[in-house]
């Protein structure tokens, strides 16, 4: 059974969030429903998350925060 996940991330500050996203994208037991980005320039963080999703061949909704 897949676990439904919503990832809230400040990707780009350190490598930890990029590694976590890559892990979730590659994990067959994970159903990544969406990604939200926070802190600072959330639009740029959303772009970084989008690149990782595209590399993984996944179309995950990404929502930049305020």
Tokens of 8: 């809230």
Task: Give the model's pLDDT for residue 11.
Answer: 93
Which portions of the chain are predicted below pLDDT 70? none
Query: How many Å apart are CA 28 and CA 36, to the nearest integer?
Result: 21
pLDDT tens-digit map of 8-23? 999 998 899 999 999 9
Cα 64 to the chain's mean position, in Å? 11
């Amino acid at each position: 059974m897949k676990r439904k996940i919503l990832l809230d991330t400040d990707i780009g500050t350190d490598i930890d969030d990029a590694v976590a996203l890559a892990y979730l994208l590659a994990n067959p037991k994970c159903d990544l429903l969406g990604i939200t980005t926070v802190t600072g320039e959330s639009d740029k963080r959303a772009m970084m998350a989008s690149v990782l999703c595209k590399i993984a061949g996944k179309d995950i909704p990404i929502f930049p925060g305020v």
